[in-house]
Chains A and B, each alone.
Chain A
């Protein structure tokens, strides 16, 4: 089973709202990722967690706050977003985040976020 689940599927929020995106995997993976994808563009890496510790933050604005409560769950807390933050947010997981040959990333279906 290579399934990564994400909720909600769609989210509409105002610029003053606080919301959270959730990602879950049960493959025993120890690395989890958040990507942002704008229309007709490739995914852009935002954060990487490895063994529940934040290992990479690609200079993402503080209005995005990741959290990894355990090895199976990954959250992305959103606050005071801007309309340009509207995008598809993808979660992925992999074996351990080392980037070695066995460390293949598997993606979830994404959350379509619209900021009004």
Chain B
């Protein structure tokens, strides 16, 4: 079975500071990993994904994430936070084995990012 843990349901940073949102996964085989962002009253927007290849993945809006197999982590970072980054962030995992529901996305519980002026 696959699972995702997002450490910290709320994270606050000052504008211009480093953003670090933590995601750890559990999977019996190398997973596919995703970060989605959700602004208030909107749907989910794909920030970035890791499937194969380079472990450092760059996404939209200056975000990036690094797949670390040894640490079973896929933390999301951004060097300098902007006010517009305030949103809910979801990490998700999909394990490319089995069938049916087991091959679908499993979401973490989400992290609400607040950016302070």
Contact = CB atoms under 8 A, between A and B. Distances in A.
**Are A and B part of the same complex?**
yes
Interface in B49-82: 49, 51-52
A108 B45 CA distance: 9
Contacts of B105: 45, 105
A41 B42 contact: no
Contacts of B109: 41-42
Interface stretch (A12-20, A60-68, A74-82, A95-103): A95-103
**Chain A at the B interface: SS class:** loop
Contacts of B104: 45, 48, 56, 99
A101 B51 contact: yes
A106 B109 CA distance: 19
Given A99-B94, A101-B52, A105-B105, A41 B43 contact: no
B96 A99 contact: yes
A112 B108 CA distance: 22
18 contacts: A4-B43, A40-B88, A42-B90, A45-B105, A48-B104, A55-B100, A56-B101, A58-B101, A101-B32, A101-B51, A101-B52, A104-B49, A105-B46, A105-B105, A107-B36, A107-B46, A108-B43, A110-B42
A40 B51 contact: no
Contacts of A100: 96
B107 interface: yes
Contact of A106 (B32, B46, B51, B103): B46
B41 A112 contact: yes
Contacts of B45: 107
A44 to B, nearest CB: 9
Contact of A42 (B43, B49, B100, B108): B108
B100 A90 contact: no
A45 B112 CA distance: 21
B18 interface: no
A58 B105 CA distance: 13
A45 B103 CA distance: 12
Contacts of A112: 41
Given A43-B44, A56-B100, A56-B101, A104 B34 contact: yes
B107 A43 contact: yes
A55 B94 CA distance: 17
